[in-house]
Structure 1
Amino acid sequence: MIVEKTELATIFKIEKLSIDDFYSDFSKKYANFKNENIIIDFSKLKRVDIENILVFLPIVKEWRNNGMSFVIVLNEIETDILPDEMNVVPTLVEAKDIVEMENIERDLGF
């Protein structure tokens, strides 16, 4: 797992792990990033099952309840079959755009 901190968000990139292994590793560490926007970049993966992404739903809900953004980058999945609470986009640029928009909405009190 590669972790990159920016002013906007902390970006987690998967290396050679499976999503299950990544989730296991991430779930042990994510509490250290509670006050940060999170982007998980799975854009290099092929053939990802929706079940693999849905394991992140409890964390996504927790982040949204804490007033932070949580976005997953995944270019090979139909996003309309995912729950509305999950932000899944095909590129890292779009993920950053979503975090910026959500930051603006929070600043304006939406």
Structure 2
Amino acid sequence: MKTTHTKEYTHIVSDENSFSDFIKNFENEYNNYTGKNLIIQISEKYNTTNENILLFLKYAHEHQDNGTSFVIIYKDVTIDDFPDTFNIVPTLVEAEDVIEMENIQRDLGF
């Protein structure tokens, strides 16, 4: 798991051998990321299912409740298969846009 910190967010890129290893590492390290906007980039080499991606839903809700953003980057996904409140995008640029938009909404009191 590679982690990069910027002023606006923490970007986590999966580099483990399997999705199950990645989610275990993420869960072990999660307390270090509370209170920060997170972008999780799931490797395309994994045979990731919707059920795998939904394992991040509880973390996304935690971040929303704490006033921070949580965005998943995964290229091959059908957005309609997930709740509207779950941010899943295909690229880093779009993930950054989601965080910027949510920051603006929070500043405006939404």
For residue 85 of structure 1, give the secondary structure of its aligned residue in structure 2: coil
Q: Which residue of 2 aligns with 1:11?
A: 11
Q: Give the CA deviation at 1:77.
A: 1.0
Aligned residues: 110
Q: TM-score scaled by structure 2?
A: 0.93
Q: How high is the sequence identity, in percent, across the aligned residues?
A: 44
Q: Which residue of 1 aligns with 2:37?
A: 37
Q: Give the CA deviation at 1:43.
A: 5.1
Asked which structure has the greater RCO (Cα within 8 Å, sep 6+), the reply is 1
CA distance in 1, matches of 2:81, 2:39: 20
Q: TM-score scaled by structure 1?
A: 0.93
CA distance in 1, matches of 2:43, 2:96: 14
Q: Could you tell me which runs of 5 or more consecutive residues in structure 2 were left unpaired when the two chains were aligned.
A: none
CA distance in 1, matches of 2:94, 2:57: 20
Q: Could you tell me which runs of 5 or more consecutive residues in structure 1 were left unpaired when the two chains were aligned.
A: none
Which letter maps to 2:51?
Answer: E
